[in-house]
Structure formats: structure tokens, C-alpha cells
Amino acid sequence: MTAMESLEAGAGRLGLKLSAKQLEQFHIYWEELVEWNRCVNLTGITGYQEVQTKHFLDSLTVCLVWPPSRANAVLRIIDVGTGAGIPGVPLKILFPEIRLVLLEATEKKAAFLRHISDRLGLADVEVVTGRAEDVARQGRYRESFDIVVSRAVAPLVTLAELALPFCVVGGSFIAQKKGDLVSEISRAERAIIRLGGRLREVRTVDLEEFSDERQLVVIDKELATPELYPRRPGIPSKRPLS
Ligand code: SAH
């Protein structure tokens, strides 16, 4: 079996040591992704090297702003618009103890997520098929997560409305972004506050694998999100706040 060398090396530069079991899980994940991608449109990236860096290593960069581990506290994480499981599944492989919800609107992608969770033997993973606008209104999920993660789903102003309602007061939302963020952040500033958030930091990911200014936007949840949000499906993107 090939060993995911590029991922292992990149993770090492993030200060992470992946075990043989974890590297094998990533390898199986890649194989299944390629296999399922023939029938389900999961990703445009399928090459062995590219998947290691652009999907797996990129997911693990979220660790750069991960909260320090708290004794006796099992972190609850939701990945909003996870697609083929990015970044949620790599984070679960890295931190097997987290309780993870993978939220995805498309049923076919959700079927893959159920398959891959089984195939990798991941415990405490729940796949929820639905739109964030609806699911965030269900008591079981609203303000129930210590960390909300999301990559490549929407501009920050829209994403804040989809993600912050899931976040418990005292928790954080981590958005993976790339490119020039200045105007995207300024457009989202007022919405973030209205939703109960506060921008804590924008961390640049400084790895040789990435030349496209990948950044992590960290928003702390300071106050409960008003009941009004998120608005009906489609509205957060059609009529962004502020
Ligand atoms: N996070 C993955 C997928 C990005 S593509 C990655 O980085 O590779 C965006 C995904 O979000 C799609 O699979 C789409 O179905 C899902 N999505 C978009 N809007 C959504 C919403 N409002 N609620 C739930 N999922 C959504």
C-alpha cells in the first residue's frame, strides 16, 4: 500500500505526527473518493498527490487555530456543506475522539459520507442531509457545537448566517478561505456581530504546498444568535445581511 508521503510530510510541518493507521485511513479515503467520483460528482481533484495536499493537508491546517484540548470535554464539531467530507473527515481521522456532524444538502454526497464513515470505522459521526438554513432551526443542532468548520461553501457574509447559529456561545466558527479577503471580511463585519459573533483572527496558512494565500478566519460566538437567523433556504445567499 502506498503511504501518503506528501500528506505525512506536510502534516509534519504543521507539527502533526500521523500514525500508520491514520495514513492508511487517508489512503482508503482517497481510493473511495476516486471510485465514487465516477458516479457521483464529489470533487474535481482526484490525483494521488493533489488529493493529499489540496484536500487532506488543507483540512488539517484547521489545527493551527484549534482550541487547546480540554480535559474531560469531548468537542462537538459540525462541518457545514462538507461535500465529500472536507474538512470534517480528515479532522475526524486526526482527532478520533471528536463528535462530528457532517452536514450536506445533496443526498448523493451524503450517501458517500455514510459509506466512508463505515469504511474507515469512524465512531461518533452523524451524517445529516439537509440545508443549513433548515437544520440550524432544529433544537438538536442549534447552538450545539463547540466548533463549526466550513470550506468553499459561500462568501463570508452568507456563511456567517449559515454557520454561526450552530455554534454554542463560547465556541468558534473556523472558515477556510483563500485569496484576497479584505473586502469579503468588510462586507461580513456587521452580519457577524448581528449573528452574535466576533472576528477573532485571520491566520495565514504558511505551507510551501499552497501558493494561493490560504487563510483561516476565526469567529468567536459571544452572544446567542437571534431567532430570526438563519433566514429561509436561499435567502442568506440571495439577500446577504447588512
Ligand atoms: N466543503 C467541501 C465542499 C465544498 S462544495 C470542500 O471544500 O471540498 C459546497 C458544498 O456545500 C456542496 O456539496 C453543497 O451541496 C453544499 N451546500 C451548499 N449550500 C448548502 C447549505 N445551505 N446547506 C448545506 N449544504 C450546502
Instruction: Classify domain 69-238 by CATH number.
Output: 3.40.50.150
For ligand 1, the distance from its centroid to the CA atom of residue 80, given in whole angstroms, is: 7
Q: What is the pLDDT of residue 79?
A: 98
**Mean pLDDT value across residues 191-216:** 95
**Mean pLDDT value across residues 170-194:** 96
Nearest residue (by CA) to ligand 1, atom 10, is: 81
Q: What is the pLDDT of residues 130-160, one digit of tens each?
A: 999 999 999 999 999 999 999 999 999 999 9
Cα 213 to its chain centre, rounded Å, is 18
Q: Is residue 69 over pLDDT 80?
A: no
pTM: 0.97
Helices and strands (H, E) in the chain, number of each type: 10, 7
Q: Is residue 30 over pLDDT 70?
A: yes
- Written as one string, the DSSP assignment of 64-80 is GGPPPP-TT-PPEEEEE
For ligand 1, the distance from its centroid to the CA atom of residue 1, given in whole angstroms, is: 31
User: pLDDT band at 72, cuts 50/70/90?
Assistant: low
Q: Where are the domains of the chain?
A: 69-238
Q: Is residue 2 over pLDDT 70?
A: no
Q: Is residue 71 over pLDDT 80?
A: no
Q: What is the pLDDT of residues 6-25, one digit of tens each?
A: 999 999 999 999 999 999 99
Question: Is 105 a pocket residue for ligand 1 (Cβ < 6 Å)?
Answer: yes
* Alpha-carbon gap, residue 168 to 225, rounded angstroms: 9
Scanning the structure block, which residue is given the C-alpha cell 473518493? 33
